[in-house]
Amino acid sequence: MTRRLNLLREFSIPLLAGVLIALAWANVSPDSYNRFNHARLLGPISFHFLANDIFMVFFFAIAAAEIIQSCLPGGDLHPIGKAVNPLLATCGGVVGPVAVYLLLNSIAGSPAYTSGWGIPVATDIAFAWLAARLIFGKDHPAIAFLLLFAIADDAVGLVIIALFYPDPQFSVDPRWLVLTGAGMLFAYLLRTQKVKNYWPYLVAGGIPCWIGLFKAHLHPALALVFVVPFLPHPRRERKHLFEEDLRDVSTLARFEDEWKVVVDFGLLMFGLANGGTELSAIGTPTWLVLFSLLFGKTLGIFAMGGIVDMLGCPLPSGMSRQHLLVAGIIAGIGFTVALFIADAAFTDPAVQGAAKMGAMLSICIFPVAMAVARMLGIRKQKPRRHHAEISSP
């Protein structure tokens, strides 16, 4: 049973199931789906609000935990010289899709679509990891490169959500951010008192942060991103992303281990709340998002990674330019975070639905990457005994 559950998580089945159910429901009975999604369940709380503004708090908290662990000594992003190439490739992977989106929008779009520029920025870590394993093999260095890129990419995505996607219906009220600062202070004080249980951090730190962001008209899903850095953790990291370290019983590790399962299966709820788009909604924003993810990510990562390689910060040992090209294509799978940003970027349901279709269709980038890999003669590498790492330049 445990193995079956792990397979469901590994292949992101809950998220895909939620999206497929929502797609079918919205196209068979759109009124029924909209009532389910937006009707009030408890006071002002709807299913959509529960999924995007409360559940996603823990999704982004897990992402923040992975970023923190990767930045610790021994982690995949430490020291900085160990990850120079993928980190600089992140710049290309952010600038590329934004530039392609804005360029295509200026040619064939509309000023009403401009705010969607942030949708193609982030890479879906889980789907990218799975696609890379299926194409390159379990231990290929391109997987480590792609994961480092995706971690840094999602960190940029968190900043973009916080800074550029406030509540479009209200102007930002920064006075309430004092409450968010108070939540961070509570978390810091708990850390100084060596509190090991993570619940006091979530309650005393997370709730004020959530209320502060919500009242300031910024996205409250980022609330725990401001608290997670204060959870006690070891000074040195011993594992890579998607690996387990049973020796690490720190507060941060326990929070990640215990909530990652909840988040992985809870993504069914997120998919159900955000995937309900009528197929008739496919339009210009769909292609703006999809082409920006496919071509913008690929060109940005391939160009920047190649330039940095020529300047003396090499790709990982065993990784060629062909592997870099395929990794850039895989990075175009946006999905989860792209869906989230699409929901925040537009208020017009028709435009929002079209943009979400582009995010969901990015899953089709996987067979494109597979076909390009075969054309370039890239074959799945046989498993090795040790996990691949990014080599120091």
Measured over the CA atoms of residue 96, residue 102, residue 104 and residue 107, the dihedral's sign is negative
Q: Pick the range with the lowest mean pLDDT from 4-8, 121-125, 279-283.
A: 4-8
Q: Is residue 29 part of a domain?
A: yes
- On the question of pLDDT at 292 being above 70, the answer is yes
Work out the burial of residue 317: count CB atoms within 10 Å of its CB; fewer than 13 is exposed, 13-18 middle, 19 or more buried: exposed
Q: Pick the range with the lowest mean pLDDT from 54-63, 151-160, 235-244.
A: 235-244
- On the question of pLDDT at 114 being above 90, the answer is yes
Strand boundaries in the chain, DSSP class E:
40-42, 45-46
Average pLDDT, the chain: 87
CATH of residue 39's domain is 1.20.1530.10
Q: Is residue 202 part of a domain?
A: no
pLDDT at 76: 64
- On the question of pLDDT at 4 being above 70, the answer is no
* pLDDT level of residue 148 (50, 70, 90 thresholds): confident
pLDDT by residue (tens digit) across 293-328? Answer: 999 999 999 999 889 888 888 887 788 999 999 999
pLDDT at 391: 42
Q: Is residue 183 within 8 Å of 204, Cβ to Cβ? A: yes
Q: How many domains does the chain have?
A: 1
Q: Is residue 183 part of a domain?
A: no
Q: What is the pTM of this model?
A: 0.84
Q: Is residue 326 part of a domain?
A: yes
How far is it, in rounded angstroms, from Cα 219 to Cα 222? 6
170 sits in which H/E element? none
The residue among 355 and 89 whose pLDDT is bigger is: 355
pLDDT by residue (tens digit) across 345-369? Answer: 998 999 999 999 999 999 999 999 9
SS3 label, residue 137:
coil
Q: Is residue 324 part of a domain?
A: yes
Q: Is residue 189 part of a domain?
A: no
The torsion angle over the Cα atoms of residues 244, 76, 78 and 151, rounded to 10 degrees, is -110
* pLDDT level of residue 9 (50, 70, 90 thresholds): low
Whole domain around residue 313: which residue ranges?
Answer: 2-165+219-375
Q: Is residue 199 part of a domain?
A: no
Strand boundaries in 11-95, DSSP class E:
40-42, 45-46
Residues above pLDDT 90, as percent of the chain? 57
pLDDT by residue (tens digit) across 13-43? Answer: 899 999 999 999 999 999 999 999 999 888 8
Q: Is residue 194 part of a domain?
A: no
- On the question of pLDDT at 75 being above 80, the answer is no
Find the mean pLDDT for residues 117-128.
Answer: 90
Name 45's bridge partners: 42
- On the question of pLDDT at 388 being above 50, the answer is no
